[in-house]
């Protein structure tokens, strides 16, 4: 009896504790819900304004400024790193409420964005490889320079292109652009002064060849006429952190700092093992995200592909026409164009936001599914026509004959194509980094933006892809053998 009373008391204590916990959580949730929440975007690789530290956390001048302002103005936000050009478009399509990504304020941008108080003055400089013969802008005539898509530096370069007679090519991220110049594919690049100085200090083999020009300001931007409360909060918060000295401390923390301040010793950074040890969490996250996209993508693509394939073989001209059109459209569109259309184009039209992961899965489903549909149709047509005639002569309806006779034989023919498509899907996930999904390839990009160890990081990423693909190929071949038995 005593034991039973003790159990009752324990049970009542647990219930009371859970009840009180629920009240506390509800109170906290209510408190949080009373604060405005915004979805913001930033550049994925633009040190010292935004980059990943050794823990995979985004840091930098922009990141710290918006965090300080949010604290002062009592609003919450989520920050999504994405390539600058994609992020700028995504704000205009309504996917994000604002962009904090070292965006230069220009007359063209003022036509489509509302900017907060300018928060950083900068200038554009040109840089060439250290051992290059390019020593001034006059040496650029007839040669090709590298520009980052959508940046103020690119705009400035184009404004003087005719004067100095150079050609241009474009890149979506700074690190790839720097490396292109360093290896000699292009002779120079244009970049904002603090960004280039940070890159050179941290190992980029470039040298500045011009004085700062076109001095302008960075601004926090929202779509014109939208999110005015967010803009007012930014302005009010920025005034506060300027007055209390927080702004100056943030800038001083990053300008002129070396990468080792944020990621450990230089000796560790320069070794393969050191890079793996230092960035193992980021690599693990990238691998998991890549596998999630691959498995989910191939699952939904298979369903979509089988439907398209079956439409192509049923005895109906309408169904065959629909299947053929779907295959033609989604197999003909480049994966990147389809991803941008789904992630940026559709929200611009409908006003409905689509999460990056959902947009990525839809992209893979439609594109990979179109290829799967083509070889499903081919596999079913490869089965001898006499098989269907024999099944029908035995009294089987068409649908049952297809399911019981034709498809089992067709699947064996399709398996090698399925294996190949599985591997292709794995590799195609890297393209989705353009819409802000941090998979394995993009993980390599953001790590390099911090430590500038391009060769070693890409070697590590390449080996990881080979290991994953080898494992998946082994598994797929094992399934193939089982089916054939």
d(C-alpha 259, C-alpha 60), whole Å:
11
Whether residue 406 has pLDDT greater than 80: no
| Phi, psi at 405, each rounded to 5° | -115, -55
pLDDT-derived band at 136, boundaries 50, 70, 90: very high
Distance linking the first and last C-alpha atoms of the chain: 64
The pLDDT of residue 17: 45
Q: What average pLDDT score do residues 254-278 get?
A: 63
Across the range 127-131, mean pLDDT stands at 92
Residue 224 gets which letter from DSSP? T
At residue 32, does pLDDT exceed 60? no
pLDDT at 399 over 80: no
- What is the predicted pLDDT for the residue at 270? 63
pLDDT of residue 23: 36
Instruction: State the average pLDDT for the chain.
Output: 83
pLDDT tens string 178-215: 889 988 999 999 998 888 988 888 778 899 999 998 87
pLDDT confidence bin for 481, thresholds 50/70/90: confident
Give the Cα separation of 393 and 409 in Å (integer).
Answer: 18
Check pLDDT > 60 for residue 391: yes
Residue 354's alpha-carbon distances to 93, 171, 301, in angstroms, are: 11, 26, 19
Query: Is there a contact between 225 and 159 (Cβ–Cβ < 8 Å)?
Result: no
For residue 213, give the H/E element and its range: strand 213-218
φ, ψ (nearest 5 deg) of residue 438: -90, 80
**Hey, what domains does the chain have and what are their CATH numbers?**
35-118+219-254 (3.40.190.10), 121-215 (3.40.190.10), 275-484 (1.10.3720.10)
Query: Among positive and negative, which fits the CA dihedral 81, 82, 87, 90?
Result: negative
- The residue that leads in pLDDT, 427 or 387, is 427
pTM of the prediction?
A: 0.69
pLDDT at residue 6 in the model: 45
Chain centre to alpha carbon of residue 236? 31
Supply the pLDDT for residue 4.
Answer: 45
| CA distances (Å), origin 116, targets 199, 231, 477 | 27, 6, 57
Name the more confident of 182 and 25. Answer: 182
CB-CB contact of 445 with 178 (8 Å): no
CA–CA distance, 113 with 222 (Å, rounded to integer): 5
For residue 145, the model assigns a pLDDT of 96
Q: Is 18's pLDDT higher than 70? A: no
Show Cβ contacts of residue 354 under 8 Å, excluding neighbours closer than 6 positions: 95, 342, 343, 346, 347, 362
Residue 483's pLDDT is: 65
User: Strand, coil or helix: what is 459?
Assistant: helix
**Three-state SS for 461?**
helix
Give the residue-averaged pLDDT of 218-241. 96
Task: Tell the residue number behind the tokens 């693909």, with chain if given.
Answer: 469
**Which residue in 379, 377, 380 sits closest to 402, CA to CA?**
380
27 confidence band (pLDDT: 50, 70, 90): very low
Block residue for tokens 């604290």: 71
> Which of these ranges, 42-51, 263-272, 456-465, 476-485, has the smallest mean pLDDT?
263-272
Higher-scoring residue by pLDDT: 261, 75: 75
According to DSSP, the residues that pair with 79 across neighbouring strands are 40
Residue 64: its pLDDT value, please?
Answer: 95
Check pLDDT > 90 for residue 236: yes
More confident residue, 136 or 471: 136
Confidence of residue 142 (pLDDT cuts 50, 70, 90): very high
Q: Is 216 or 2 the better-scoring residue by pLDDT?
A: 216
Contacts of residues 317-326 at CB distance under 8 Å and 24 or more positions apart, as own/partner, are: 323/373, 323/377, 326/370, 326/373
Question: What is the share, in percent, of the chain residues with pLDDT greater than 90?
Answer: 40
Q: How large is the average pLDDT for residues 78-105? A: 90
What are phi and psi for residue 265, nearest 5 degrees? Answer: -70, 155
Question: Is residue 419 within 8 Å of 372, Cβ to Cβ?
Answer: no
Q: Which residues contact 32 (CB under 8 A, 6 or more apart)?
A: 76
């Amino acid at each position: 009896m005593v034991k039973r009373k003790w159990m009752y008391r324990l049970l009542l204590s647990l219930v009371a504790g859970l009840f009180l916990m629920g009240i506390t959580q509800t109170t906290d949730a209510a408190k949080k819900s009373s604060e405005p929440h915004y979805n913001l975007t930033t550049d994925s690789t633009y040190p010292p304004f935004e980059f990943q530290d050794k823990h995979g956390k985004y840091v930098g001048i922009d990141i710290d400024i918006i965090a300080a302002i949010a604290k002062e103005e009592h609003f919450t936000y989520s920050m999504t790193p994405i390539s600058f050009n994609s992020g700028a478009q995504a704000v205009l399509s309504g996917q994000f409420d604002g962009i904090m990504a070292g965006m230069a304020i220009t007359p063209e941008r003022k036509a489509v964005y509302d900017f907060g108080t300018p928060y950083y003055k900068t200038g554009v400089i040109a840089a060439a490889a250290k051992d290059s013969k390019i020593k001034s802008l006059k040496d650029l005539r007839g040669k090709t320079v590298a520009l980052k898509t959508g940046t103020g530096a690119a705009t400035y370069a184009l404004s003087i292109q005719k004067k100095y007679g150079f050609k241009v090519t474009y890149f979506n991220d700074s690190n790839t652009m720097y490396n292109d110049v360093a290896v000699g594919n292009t002779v120079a690049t244009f970049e904002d002064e603090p960004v280039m100085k940070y890159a050179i200090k941290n190992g980029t083999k470039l040298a500045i060849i011009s004085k700062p020009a076109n001095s302008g300001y960075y601004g926090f931007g929202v779509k014109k006429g939208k999110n005015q409360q967010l803009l007012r909060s930014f302005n009010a918060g920025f005034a506060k952190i300027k007055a209390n000295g927080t702004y100056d401390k943030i800038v001083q923390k990053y300008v002129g700092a070396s990468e080792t301040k944020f990621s450990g010793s230089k000796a560790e950074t320069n070794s393969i093992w050191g890079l793996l040890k230092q960035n193992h969490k980021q690599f693990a996250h990238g691998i998991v995200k890549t596998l999630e996209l691959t498995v989910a993508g191939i699952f939904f693509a298979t369903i979509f592909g089988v439907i398209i394939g079956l439409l192509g073989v049923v005895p109906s001209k309408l169904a065959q026409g629909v299947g053929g059109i779907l295959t033609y459209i989604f197999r003909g569109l480049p994966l990147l164009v389809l991803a941008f259309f789904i992630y940026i184009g559709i929200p611009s039209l409908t006003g409905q936001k689509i999460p990056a992961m959902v947009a990525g899965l839809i992209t893979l489903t439609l594109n990979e599914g179109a290829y799967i549909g083509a070889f499903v149709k081919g596999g079913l047509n490869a089965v001898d026509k006499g098989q269907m005639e024999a099944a029908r002569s035995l009294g089987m309806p068409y649908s049952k004959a297809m399911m019981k006779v034709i498809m089992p034989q067709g699947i064996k023919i399709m398996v090698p194509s399925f294996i190949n498509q599985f591997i292709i899907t794995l590799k195609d996930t890297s393209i989705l980094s353009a819409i802000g999904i941090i998979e394995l390839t993009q993980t390599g990009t953001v790590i390099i933006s911090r430590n500038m160890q391009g060769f070693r990081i890409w070697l590590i990423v390449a080996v990881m892809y080979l290991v994953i693909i080898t494992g998946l190929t082994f598994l797929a071949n094992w399934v193939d053998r089982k089916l054939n038995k």
